[in-house]
């Protein structure tokens, strides 16, 4: 039985993701796909537009064999940390033969060349990188310029311009760093680009779809909606999305609209401000992605806090990207400390694999994993007592983050609170 691993966010699930699942099974010859998915918060440092179980159900209905949750400390980390967390989890399951990811370039040899270079970081490259950073460039831009100067290969450096390429390179680095036996594959991204805000004919970006879904709940909006949309009813918006998401996902979008989604960054504004008001500036650097510069800017600008997104915009600079600021503030809000993450990494990255859901016709995956996985596969929270102390700490952090998200959903849409400790495994 061949298994392909997919690393995803599905924020939300759309036609491009369905294509990815189908193509991954085809190009690898795998019998089933195992997905590692971000939970209620995503790598760009924001809450997901809808809860993780809705997104997991969409994936299972569209062909994923099983969906595991990536712990929140990795799901909201830098591209490097995100990749290491996800790849190490797939490796630990013991049954995954390959990893297949999307990319803009569809050039695996060049991506592997970059991965090798960035993993080794030759001294000459490091000197160039530091020089560009001193010029005030953001890290992504400085790295691209350093690669160009070091390799004198503009096509190679251009690969680092696109977000899916960057993540793909980090997956390849992680595979090499972990000494994984999993074989990498890449498939070309189809349709719109990652940041495109307008709908494409068939393969729109998640950014464009999120914008439309946020607009669909204008009476609940807490921040401006990107993109240009005429006045549309929700039924009209669903019509707009008919060619953008699988039909089964469209039904879930309809069922859960203004019940569990859409959720935005600004829905967490008061929670974040409360956290910041209770922190001393010098203590902020304990949190992941918070540099002394970011901590100083937070302290100096806190009186100008009006809402979450506005504060992120206020803190960003030419050197500090929006995503870096987003992640820093999210880590403060969720209490993700550098020391804790370092401890998890030093102890093998993971102490458990939390199953969100599986397809009944792929139940044999669970049987195989129970025999081969180096981690306990968690299906109910009563199993937390069987974990080592560090694993319990990690899982409780995940639980708190999820319950915080659910509390926002409950408050926004006046729905019943669903405690994370009582949630079961999805079966499709």
pLDDT (tens digit per residue) in 19-59: 999 999 999 999 999 999 999 999 999 999 999 999 999 99
- 6 — phi, psi (to 5°)? -125, 135
Q: Is 12 among the annotated ligand-binding positions?
A: yes
Q: Is 397 among the annotated ligand-binding positions?
A: no
Buried b (16+ CB within 10 A) or exposed e, 179-201: ebebebbbbebebbeeeebebbe
Q: Tell me how far CA of residue 171 lies from CA of 102, 116, 166, 202, 271, in angstroms.
A: 11, 11, 9, 27, 33
Higher-pLDDT residue of 120, 194:
120
Q: Is 11 among the annotated ligand-binding positions?
A: yes
Q: Is 10 among the annotated ligand-binding positions?
A: yes
Q: Is 347 among the annotated ligand-binding positions?
A: no
Q: Is 164 among the annotated ligand-binding positions?
A: yes
As a whole-number percent, the residues of the chain with pLDDT over 70 amount to 94
Q: Is 150 among the annotated ligand-binding positions?
A: no
- Over the stretch 235-278, which tens digit does the pLDDT of each residue have? 888 888 999 999 999 999 999 999 999 999 999 999 999 999 99
The pLDDT assigned to 194 comes to 59
Q: Is 122 among the annotated ligand-binding positions?
A: no
Q: Is 326 among the annotated ligand-binding positions?
A: no
List of residues 6+ apart from 43 with CB closer than 8 A: 9, 75, 76, 77, 79, 82
Using an 8 Å Cβ cutoff, are 165 and 103 in contact? yes
For residue 315, pLDDT beyond 80: yes
For residue 224, pLDDT beyond 80: no
Q: Is 13 among the annotated ligand-binding positions?
A: yes
Residues paired with 257 in a beta bridge: 261
pLDDT band at 158 (very low <50, low <70, confident <90, very high): very high
For residue 229, pLDDT beyond 80: no
Domain extents in the chain: 1-104+163-192+349-428, 110-161, 265-339
The pLDDT assigned to 382 comes to 83
- 221 — phi, psi (to 5°)? -60, 140
Q: Within the chain, what is the greatest distance between any pair of CA atoms?
A: 58
Mean pLDDT in the chain? 93
Distance between CA atoms of residues 400 and 413, nearest Å: 20
pLDDT band at 190 (very low <50, low <70, confident <90, very high): confident
Q: Tell me how far CA of residue 268 lies from CA of 157, 265, 403, 411, in angstroms.
A: 37, 6, 13, 11
Distance between CA atoms of residues 246 and 55, nearest Å: 13
The pLDDT assigned to 357 comes to 98
Q: Is 365 among the annotated ligand-binding positions?
A: no
- Over the stretch 364-382, which tens digit does the pLDDT of each residue have? 999 999 999 999 999 988 8
Q: Is 335 among the annotated ligand-binding positions?
A: no
Q: Is 324 among the annotated ligand-binding positions?
A: no
Q: Is 344 among the annotated ligand-binding positions?
A: no
Q: Is 16 among the annotated ligand-binding positions?
A: yes
- 274 — phi, psi (to 5°)? -60, -45
Distance between CA atoms of residues 3 and 35, nearest Å: 10
Architecture of domain 1-104+163-192+349-428: 3-Layer(aba) Sandwich (3.40)
How does strand 66-70 pair with strand 32-38?
Answer: parallel
């Amino acid at each position: 039985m061949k298994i392909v691993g997919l690393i995803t966010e599905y924020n939300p699930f759309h036609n491009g993701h369905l294509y990815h699942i189908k193509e991954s099974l085809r190009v690898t010859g795998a019998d089933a796909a195992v997905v590692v998915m971000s939970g209620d918060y995503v790598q760009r440092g924001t809450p997901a537009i809808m809860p993780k179980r809705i997104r997991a159900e969409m994936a299972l209905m569209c062909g994923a064999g099983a969906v595991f949750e990536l712990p929140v400390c990795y799901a909201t980390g830098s591209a490097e940390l995100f990749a290491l967390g996800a790849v190490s989890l797939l490796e630990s399951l013991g049954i995954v033969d390959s990893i297949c990811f999307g990319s803009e370039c569809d050039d695996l040899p060049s991506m592997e060349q970059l991965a090798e270079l960035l993993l080794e970081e030759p001294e000459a490259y490091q000197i160039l990188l530091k020089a560009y950073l001193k010029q005030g460039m953001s890290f992504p831009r400085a790295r691209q310029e350093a690669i160009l100067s070091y390799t004198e290969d503009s096509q190679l450096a251009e690969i680092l311009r696109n977000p899916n390429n960057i993540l793909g390179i980090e997956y390849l680095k992680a595979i090499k760093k972990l000494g994984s036996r999993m074989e990498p594959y890449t498939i070309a991204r189809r349709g719109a680009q990652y940041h495109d805000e307008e709908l494409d004919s068939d393969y729109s970006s998640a950014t464009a779809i999120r914008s439309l879904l946020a607009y669909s709940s204008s009476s609940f909006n807490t921040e401006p909606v990107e993109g240009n949309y005429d006045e549309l009813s929700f039924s009209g918006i669903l019509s707009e999305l008919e060619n953008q998401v699988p039909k089964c996902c469209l039904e879930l979008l309809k069922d859960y609209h203004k019940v569990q989604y859409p959720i935005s960054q600004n829905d967490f504004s008061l929670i974040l401000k409360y956290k910041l008001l209770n922190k001393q500036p010098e203590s902020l650097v304990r949190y992941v992605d918070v540099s002394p510069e970011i901590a100083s800017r937070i302290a100096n600008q806190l009186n100008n806090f009006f809402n979450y997104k506005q504060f992120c915009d206020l803190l960003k600079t030419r050197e500090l990207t929006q995503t870096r600021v987003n992640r820093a503030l999210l880590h403060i809000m969720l209490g993700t400390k550098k020391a804790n993450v370092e401890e998890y990494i030093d102890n093998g990255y993971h102490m458990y694999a939390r199953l969100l859901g599986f397809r009944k016709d792929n139940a044999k995956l669970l049987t195989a994993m129970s025999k081969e996985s180096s981690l306990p596969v968690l299906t109910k929270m009563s199993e937390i007592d069987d974990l080592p102390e560090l694993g319990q700490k990690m899982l409780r952090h995940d639980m708190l983050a999820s319950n915080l998200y659910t509390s926002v959903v409950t408050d926004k849409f006046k729905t019943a609170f669903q405690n994370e400790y009582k949630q079961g495994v999805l079966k499709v």
